Amino acid sequence: MTLLIDRDKCLACGECAERCILDNIRVQTPPCRAACPVDLNPQQFVTLVALGRTQEAAEAIYARVPFPRLLANLCPAPCQGRCTRRGVDQAVAIHALERFLVEGHQPSADRFAPGPETGERVAVVGAGPAGMTAAVRLRQAGHKVVLFESQGQAGGGVRADLAPELLAAETELLDRLEVDQRLGTRVGGSVSLSELRRDFLAILLAVGSGADLEFAVREGAELDPDGRLKVDPAILSISLEGLFAAGQMLAGVDNPVAAMGSAQRVVEFVDRFVRGQSLKLPPALRAGKVLPAQVDSRRIVELRAQAATGTPDRSAPVPQDELSGEPVARRAADACLRCAEAVDYYDECWYCLPCEVECPTNALILEIPFLVR
């Protein structure tokens, strides 16, 4: 074993795995991340809070999620349902920590810059959380995006749940990325789907649950027995060439954050379609450099025994509604068991050191044999 990992500092961020020139390192996925619809890594931002690096913790969220206020206010926190700490006492207050970070820290002004322009045009129909997220990601991929929304304002179903000033602060990103927003324009009303099919290379439908799909059926789109658009689950395309679907119009997507997650997934396929690439992802892209975390059940039993005798070597979780201020946030973050870590996958090492040098928390130390040193 060559890698020594300080479990209290490892973010399971994968930076070391990316840097290893021998492709020797893999990073595990903590259960909280595996449950997250938008692939946030709670171990990463929670650990950064525990280390007192709250701005970096907030940036880890901002870099992944275009609309963080929506996440901080409306996420049902499936991560907490899977949190290993529940086996000891209760889940880490991941969602309250998210709120603490998003409410108290500003994102950098240039996050989600548009990519090099491809000159291709994509239509997104529906400006709810899924449509908005897809619009941002497609701009990042360099495509021109026209976002059609039947209402006079973006936001879709979350307009009723978010304060207007919070929603306005979120939709500002669409303006900054020059997403062409056609508000008050109903597809199937003042503009038809066949016009969109004529003018755009790809179309992403994100019209929400319970929307009237007659406009798509008239064009030949098929419905499933539940009256939803029939979707290829692997690539989220519908039965018309170049048309894809995202958000709560999909079966099993039942909240705004899951809707944003489905948009992040489908955009990869829309982008490949627009670039004329195969929609079958190569196995290497699908697998990535991740492994499931191996949670040591003996550790849970030990912590449970410690909790019973009142001599814990880790903080007890702070209840969600008691989290306010940085000292309490740090204590709440300290309860995390850091379920995942970087691992020496092939036990193959040239001691070239970029993994150790680039680790953001100095969690990784290479054990260099005396003769190499």
The binding site for ligand SF4 (CB under 6 A) comprises: 5, 10-16, 27, 30-32, 42-43, 46, 83-85, 92, 94, 336-339, 342, 359-361, 363-364
Write the burial class of residue 311 (CB in 10 Å: 0-12 exposed, 13-18 middle, 19+ buried). Answer: exposed
Min. distance of Cβ 79 from ligand SF4 in angstroms? 7
Give the C-alpha separation, 202 to 120, whole Å: 9
DSSP code of residue 348? -
Backbone angles phi, psi at 366, to 5 degrees: -90, 130
Closest to ligand SF4 by CB, 25 vs 203, is 25
Q: What would the two tokens of residue 339 be? A: 């379920």
CB of 86 to ligand SF4, least distance (A): 8
DSSP string covering 190-254: TB-HHHHHHH-SEEEE---TT---HHHHTTT--B-TTSSBPEETTTTEESSTTEEE-GGGSTT--
Q: Say if residues 30 and 339 touch (Cβ distance below 8 Å).
A: yes
User: Shortest approach of ligand SF4 to residue 260 CB, angstroms?
Assistant: 20
Bridge partners (DSSP) of residue 182 are: 148
C-beta closer to ligand SF4: residue 251 or 287: 287
Query: In the complex, what is the shortest distance from the CB of residue 113 to ligand SF4, in angstroms, rounded to a whole number?
Result: 24
Give the H or E element holding residue 291: strand 290-292
- For 258-271, b/e burial (b = at least 16 CB within 10 A) is bbbbbbbbbbbbbb
What's the min distance (Å) between Cβ of 233 and ligand SF4? 27
Taking a C-beta distance cutoff of 8 angstroms, is the pair 49, 329 a contact? yes
Smallest gap from residue 340 Cβ to ligand SF4 (A): 6
CB nearer to ligand SF4: pick between 15 and 271: 15
Spatial CA neighbour of 60 closest among 71, 343, 139: 71
- Count CB atoms within 10 A of the CB of residue 168: 13
CB-wise, 39 or 212, nearer to ligand SF4?
A: 39
User: What are the CA-CA distances from residue 21 to residues 18, 24, 27, 291, 350 (Å)?
Assistant: 8, 8, 15, 19, 9
What is the nearest approach in angstroms of ligand SF4 to the Cβ of residue 37? 15
* Residue with smaller CB distance to ligand SF4, 56 or 170: 56
Pairing of strands 237-238, 231-232: antiparallel
Q: Whole-number minimum distance, CB 139 to ligand SF4, in Å?
A: 29
What is the spatial distance between Cα 58 and Cα 111, in angstroms, rounded to a whole number?
Answer: 13
Q: How far is the CB of 31 from ligand SF4 (least distance, A)?
A: 4
Which of 16, 132 has the CB closer to ligand SF4?
Answer: 16
Q: Which is nearer to ligand SF4, 208 or 360 (CB)?
A: 360
Q: Which is nearer to ligand SF4, 2 or 151 (CB)?
A: 2
